[in-house]
Amino acid sequence: MREIVLDTETTGLDPLAGHRIVEVGCLELVNMVATGLSFQCYFNPERDMPTGAQDVHGLTEEFLSDKPLFADKADELLAFLGDAQLVIHNAQFDLGFLNAELERAGRARIANPYVDTVSMARRRFPGQRASLDALCERFGIDNAHRTKHGALLDSELLAEVYLELSGGRQRDLGLAPEMTGTATDGTAAANNRPVRPARPHMVSTAELAAHAEFLKKLSDPLWSKA
């Protein structure tokens, strides 16, 4: 199964108030394993950068001024997403911004199925913090290098969190493909190892005789009182 872990950085909290996407970061998973393929791009938001947003991700107006517009990269992003299931932390936020940008660029809204890892975390740990940092701490995922939010870095951390929320690294007990019967491409793998004959479990005549001799040595056994 192909999935895309996705994150965005923005100029604010509400696309309907004129806030824009300034970064998108995605990475590909196939059968819950990162393939090494990713998509990352900064965008010129065509507006100012509020101080509060800059404090979160560190992206300045000056840095973004020569970056492409979202519309210029929309087709490339959509091609990378394909029809994969999306994995997003607080999905309504990111999808709201992505769909606003796509509509502005004259593209169709995203219709991919998606998994919201915030909802997953709240179901698994009701009443507990569900931020990405909190989940990294809970699962022992090293995020010390995350001094600022970054879309691709956050996607990489989220991929690890998603694996843990989905059952952790013991989902398949870490068995090699030839042990699980699954090839690296997800198809059934041929197992060419020799088949060991089944072990005999019937009691032999010699074992029965030895057991009978042992019983003769017992005095006043419990079963004789039943």
Measured torsion, CA atoms of residues 188, 193, 197, 201, in degrees rounded to the nearest 10: -70
Pairing relationship of beta strands 33-42 and 2-10 according to DSSP bridges:
unpaired
Annotation marks residue 19 as catalytic: no
Strands (E), 43-93: 85-88
Alpha-carbon distance of 189 to 191, in angstroms, equals 6
Is the Cβ–Cβ distance between 56 and 187 less than 8 Å? no
Give residue for tokens 């992505």: 98
Alpha-carbon distance of 22 to 139, in angstroms, equals 29
Is the Cβ–Cβ distance between 89 and 134 less than 8 Å? no
Indicate which residue of 145, 149, 201, 211 is catalytic.
Answer: 149
Is the Cβ–Cβ distance between 49 and 85 less than 8 Å? no
Active site residues: 149
